[in-house]
Structure 1
Amino acid sequence: MAKAPVKAKKKAKKVVSEGIAHIQATFNNTIITITDNQGNALSWATSGGSGFRGSRKSTPFAAQVAAERAGTAAKEFGMQSLHVNVKGPGPGREAAVRALNAVGFNIHTITDVTPM
């Protein structure tokens, strides 16, 4: 006798309306991680992972592309508004925040959390 095929249950997609965008801008790369309010990562992107290599990773345009990629992935979770934490002295700080705004997020606060 043949066994009946086992149906896998569909995993319910997480719906999050508000989250936190962590932007780490170093002199060599920019890392954007978007989390829920508890700190669980929903999406992330880097300048290097977006196809930029060498000195082009540290440009504001590379940070903009990475922020757009992370933002569109977070939009799939139903996210609409963000609190932004920016860390580091890199050139991609402002470009990443502007790109998240351009994706369509309502940005509540922008906080500089660079350690001193």
Structure 2
Amino acid sequence: MLSAVPRQVIRATSTRQIQSVANTRYYSSGKDSGEKDSNTTNSESDDSSKPEGAEALMSILSSSPTAASSDRTTSASSKGNSAALILETLTKVTDRQQQATSRTANFLNSRMFLGGPGSGRAFLGEPQPCSHNLHIHASMNNTILTLTDSNGDPITTQSAGSAGFKKAARSGPEAGYQAMAKLIEKVEEKNVQIQTLHVLMKGLGPGRDSAFKAIRAKTNWDIKRISDTTPIPFNGCRPPKARRL
């Protein structure tokens, strides 16, 4: 707040001290280091006689005594202009801080991030569950798809092997695409209404991305979340012995 006041204004008013009245910082003129001001000591002893707010700033700046040196003497009109400039600058800074605080409060209380008024759900908290979950297990040998409800109970399942692919072809991208197409047909036959969908992908097989592309191409399901549940070992089981050829 204090850095917003130009140095020329501080020199013009010969300000030396910073006082605080009613939680408002303002500049007040003072004597040199060798001189003493009786008014300052009286005001420090009696806090009730201090004015408050903007009136305190105007009264102190307008009644500030000039320095003993002739180079530092200024007219009363220049002091009034300097006091008004300082007061205007401090008022703008205070208004800016109040606006930033109100914007932060409105952001945290918004319906988008808190899930509605009074819900107490923070925007960094746990997201709301979706109506259905789709598990895509893409291994190096097969692609297995499972559709469940919000509680995790399975509704239908489909794999690349049951879609007609055999042996090494079960892990290919085409097998994952056709397996998802079969799963979509089963969902339509059972007349399952999918409102929001959470896609959980496990494994790094070739049918991983092709199965997801089939969802976007053949359905209009509202995908709210996409998660990767591939397990990552962190100094876990001992790896198998290296193969010797």
1:45 is the counterpart of 2:181: no
- CA-CA distance at 1:74 after TM superposition: 2.3
Which has the higher Rg, Structure 1 or Structure 2? 2
Partner of 1:65: 178
Q: 1:24 aligns with which of 124, 128, 137?
A: 137
**Residue ranges of structure 1 left out of the alignment (5+ in a row):** 1-16
**Residue ranges of structure 2 left out of the alignment (5+ in a row):** 1-129, 233-245
Partner of 2:205: 90
- d(CA) in 2 for partners of 1:43, 1:101: 19
TM-score (norm 2): 0.39
Alpha carbons 1:34, 1:42 under 8 Å: kept: yes
List structure 1 segments (4+ residues) > 2 angstroms apart after TM superposition: none
Question: Counterpart amino acid of 1:92?
Answer: G
Q: Secondary structure at the match of 1:97?
A: helix
**Between Structure 1 and Structure 2, which shows a larger proportion of helix residues?**
2
Equivalenced residues, count: 100
Give the alignment's Cα RMSD to 1 decimal: 1.5
Q: 1:103 aligns with which of 214, 218, 232?
A: 218
Partner of 2:193: 78
Instruction: Calculate percent identity across the aligned residue pairs.
Output: 36
Higher RCO by CA contacts (8 Å cutoff, separation 6 or greater): 1
Partner of 1:3: none
- CA-CA distance at 1:72 after TM superposition: 2.6
- CA-CA distance at 1:103 after TM superposition: 2.5
**Between Structure 1 and Structure 2, which shows a larger proportion of strand residues?**
1
- d(CA) in 2 for partners of 1:66, 1:22: 13
